[in-house]
Amino acid sequence: MAKKIFFIFLLIFSVMAFPLVSDADLGNFNNYSSDSGGYSGGSYSGGYGGGYSGYGGGIHVVPSGDSDSSIMEFVQALIVVIIFAAIIIFNAKRNKNKNTGNSGKTVRQGYNVIVPDHSEEIIAEIHKNDPDFSYEKFIGWVKEVFITLQSAWSNRDFEKCRPFEKEELYAQHISQIQEYKDKGWINKLDRLNVNQSYLFKYTRDSEYEYLTVYIQSRMSDYIIDEKTGNVLKGSPDAEYEMKYLYTFIRKNGVKTDPAKSNNSVVACPHCGAPTQITSAGKCEYCGFIVTTGEYDWVLSNIEAIHNETGVGKGGVIIR
């Protein structure tokens, strides 16, 4: 009997002490830990670390058929129940304190990683084949894309992002958002701000050119239960400084159209009409598929930077 009670409470403890919550922010990159060694966010990052090392550490149940042994079994099982109840209460208070006690804290990820600014040499290389390319206009558009993506992720409504994401990346984000919906979670991203952005790397091969933009952002980032509103991970009071590499792709030979290119996130890059994009990435006005990079830059990859991330030297790479 004692063993049965023990394993029941072991199961309850495991479920309550280790909630199954994923990493967060667009693409699930924010693990709520601090790479700079400061406050580590609101996640519960380990099991109970006290002196209790498993069943049997000082409590030993000897099977027996007499009544005294049965009473002893009951008493010992009751002690185990009390111990586990105390552990569960302790962890619940611990998690609550972590989720609510970090007002004003800033959590930095990728703090020690330096990403060089190669904007000047990259602009010079692009201008050789595309003299109308505007750095200011492109970076402004990238910032708008970043904010739009994060907002759509938080609202769990990603259709507005279809025009400027390549097919594979869009499908990945749709799948991840569906996971949140299935679990009844909402990843809240508030107070979004792009602190810094510039060109890090430009690569061109025989078919495509790739432009990687460094983005440093600041935001609040936490997960809530959609029904109760309870915070499951992170904290509304903390702010996270995140670093990203956004890589955009377009076909070789595509030139910047000053009237259409990088104007906004709500216009077709081919015809300039207000964006109405089908699930296949086709503009409903002109009928062209605009998510392949054949008409303008489209986002093909997002990488979050942590202290263990190797970003390389960047610059211009011609293959």
pLDDT tens per residue across span 139-155? 999 998 899 899 989 99
Q: Is 16 a domain residue? A: yes
Domain boundary among 57, 76, 100: 100
Q: Is 215 a domain residue? A: yes
CATH of the domain at 260: 3.10.450.240
Is the per-residue pLDDT at 188 higher than 60? Answer: yes
- Outline where 41-118 has alpha helix (H): 67-100
Binning pLDDT at 50, 70 and 90, where does residue 164 land? confident
Q: Is 252 a domain residue? A: yes
Is residue 116 located within the same domain as residue 89? Answer: no
Domain total in the chain: 2
Average pLDDT over residues 166-190: 92
Q: What percent of the chain has pLDDT over 70?
A: 58
Is residue 37 located within the same domain as residue 94? Answer: yes
* Chain mean position to CA 261: 28
Position 68 scores a pLDDT of 55
Is the per-residue pLDDT at 264 higher than 70? Answer: no
Is residue 43 located within the same domain as residue 133? Answer: no
pLDDT tens per residue across span 48-63? 233 322 323 332 233 3
Is the per-residue pLDDT at 277 higher than 70? Answer: no
Q: Is 43 a domain residue? A: yes
Q: Is 75 a domain residue? A: yes
Domain boundary among 100, 120, 135: 100
Is residue 181 located within the same domain as residue 137? Answer: yes
Average pLDDT over residues 113-139: 96
Is residue 217 located within the same domain as residue 306? Answer: yes
Is residue 66 located within the same domain as residue 190? Answer: no
Is the per-residue pLDDT at 206 higher than 80? Answer: yes
Q: Is 281 a domain residue? A: yes
* Triad 158, 163, 167: Cα angle to 5°: 80
Measured CA to CA, the distance from residue 148 to residue 136 in angstroms comes to 18
- Phi and psi at residue 86, to the nearest 5°: -65, -40
Is residue 41 located within the same domain as residue 176? Answer: no
Is the per-residue pLDDT at 134 higher than 70? Answer: yes
Is residue 171 located within the same domain as residue 34? Answer: no
Most confidently predicted of 12-26, 53-67, 259-273, 291-305: 291-305
Does the global pTM surpass 0.85? no
Binning pLDDT at 50, 70 and 90, where does residue 135 land? very high
Average pLDDT over residues 197-226: 95
Is the per-residue pLDDT at 100 higher than 50? Answer: no
Is residue 301 located within the same domain as residue 191? Answer: yes
- Which residue from 45, 54, 47, 98 is spatially nearest to 222, judged by alpha carbons? 98
Position 110 scores a pLDDT of 84
Average pLDDT of the chain is: 73
Measured CA to CA, the distance from residue 13 to residue 55 in angstroms comes to 13
Percent composition of the chain: helix, strand, coil (DSSP 3-state, to 5): 35, 25, 40
Range of the domain at 68: 2-100
Is the per-residue pLDDT at 185 higher than 60? Answer: yes
Is residue 162 located within the same domain as residue 214? Answer: yes
| Integer Rg of the chain from CA | 26
Position 196 scores a pLDDT of 95
Q: What percent of the chain has pLDDT over 90?
A: 39
Contact of 132 with 123, CB cutoff 8 Å: no
The two three-digit tokens of residue 7, written as one number: 């394993």
Is residue 182 located within the same domain as residue 44? Answer: no
Cβ contacts of 59 within 8 Å, gap of 6 or more: 76, 79, 80
Q: Which residue has the tokens 């909402």?
A: 186
- Which residue from 124, 127, 122 is spatially nearest to 210, judged by alpha carbons? 122
Q: Is 185 a domain residue? A: yes
